[in-house]
Structure 1
């Protein structure tokens, strides 16, 4: 891939950052209204539906890359979409549960952004070397996480642990996409990924958000029939899911996953700004210092390093 193509793909990932950063606000409001699994189930199914006409238009204009023709290609596409969908199911729901437990948008954004450090570290298990800059970034990130998440103790809150677990699953999702995206149609992959994630979330929703402990079906239906629920769901479904994750898959195609992850690092910054402007969520000096350290760590970890090879 030449320099111009890399710049274009990185810019596409920056657009995804903006969409996702604002989505933390939608997730905070929507998850509170209907429950974590209901929010994710509905929004990802909406995202899948939004991509169906896009697929038809691209096919009609002959703009589809790696369009599946044979039975073998279609099978590979469904395997790829299912694997990505399973990873996204765990990542998105762990993240949403963490937000629903009270984590502020900015804090959730920065903790989620630790996947950018986890991607190259997990790459070790795929026989990818991890350079010195990565380990420096990890060390600085741990210090930043202490200031951001810990109030004078060496313990993490439940919401922090869920967000970090979600970040690990997002790192796995990035590596899974990297494995499949060069062989299949990116938009179809995204559509199947959303369908699997949405369907899985809806199944869990029946036993959690619609269960007796949550007030039952009547209470769930009542909470769903409000603009407080649907405005965040529609934003997250159409933009965060349908647009954002598709931009990720298209933008990540052909890029080293570590390079792709640094291009997505501004998501955390956008989440802090969006939480401040839209929700009035103010971080204290200690937490802002932690955010700054984590952002520095993210950038250092992703600086070009000859030791890191794809």
Structure 2
């Protein structure tokens, strides 16, 4: 059992590494094509990677209660809802990265960990003390990371912050849908919806060329095959045996790897003020996940 748990922890850390370095690929890819086209192609690739596993899982009965239309086939309704929210979060993240660094985008996006329990208040969920402490620490950290000395928020950081709200909403939507349908077909459906919406927006708002797609090829492959397809699969496999707390903490290192990747490949520097803000934000994320919670009453 200990060996399986160790393997699961390693897989979670590898997943966080892939996701963190994906921010670098996302920045590099937009040197050649627009943000909508990049997202559309990478989510299409991710869907293709996940498709064999998702189709295979259709052999097994879905969990109950069933969503409408998901008992014997594909969870299209759930995929449409989750894909719409995913499209909003991914679009804001990708467009925001035109105006901010990969490291800052990673940390600000990671705020969804703190925002999830706060948004849960609107659905009658109670926030633990760690959620409140984490939110305060993250807010102060965001100030040092993104708010300038004349009290203005950089446009890219503002878009990433709004995107983090949608990422938190996506977690809540998936949290409601997952117990009611098959997980992998749901993931495939939402990736397909996100890809279609992104490609449609790219046709309307962007001028995409085959030369641009070829120039962004490696970044698209990383963002689609590794970040969307492989990393998601690794997460599913890892969390079969992982301690939930271990998994949450290790996956949070995505933000750290984003900053490391930005420094190594994009020559980005957060500076002393930014590093202090990142430390506070990361501490807030850990507090929101690790603070003991009171058991629910029977």
TM-score grouping bracket, smaller chain normalisation: 0.7 to 0.9
Superposition TM-score, scaled by structure 1 size: 0.83
**Separation (CA, whole Å) in 2 of partners of 1:3 and 1:309:** 28
- Return closer, same or farther for 1:120/1:304 CA change in 2, 3 Å cut-off: same
* Conserved 8 A contact 1:13-1:263: yes
- Return closer, same or farther for 1:156/1:65 CA change in 2, 3 Å cut-off: farther
Query: Does the residue aligned with 1:187 lie in a helix, a strand or coil?
Result: helix
Superposition TM-score, scaled by structure 2 size: 0.87
Structure 2 residue 43 is matched with structure 1 residue 54:
no
Please state how far the C-alpha of 1:184 moved relative to its aligned partner.
2.1
1:185 corresponds to: 182
Gaps of 5+ in 2: none
2:220 corresponds to: 233
* Conserved 8 A contact 1:12-1:251: yes
What does 1:1-310 correspond to in 2, within 5 Å? 12-56=11-55, 66=62, 72-74=70-72, 77-101=75-99, 103-210=100-207, 220-226=209-215, 229-248=216-235, 262-307=249-294
| Aligned Cα root-mean-square deviation (Å) | 3.2
Deviations 1:109-137 (A, max 9, x none): 00111101001111112221102221111
* Conserved 8 A contact 1:178-1:253: no
Deviations 1:79-120 (A, max 9, x none): 22221111110011100000022x111111001111010011
- Return closer, same or farther for 1:170/1:291 CA change in 2, 3 Å cut-off: same
With 122-131 and 299-308 compared, the bigger mean Cα shift is at 299-308
**Separation (CA, whole Å) in 1 of partners of 2:266 and 2:294:** 42
* Conserved 8 A contact 1:88-1:193: yes
Gaps of 5+ in 1: 211-216
Deviations 1:231-254 (A, max 9, x none): 000110101111234445666789
With 158-167 and 12-21 compared, the bigger mean Cα shift is at 12-21
* Conserved 8 A contact 1:186-1:246: no
With 114-123 and 71-80 compared, the bigger mean Cα shift is at 71-80
Please state how far the C-alpha of 1:6 moved relative to its aligned partner.
8.5
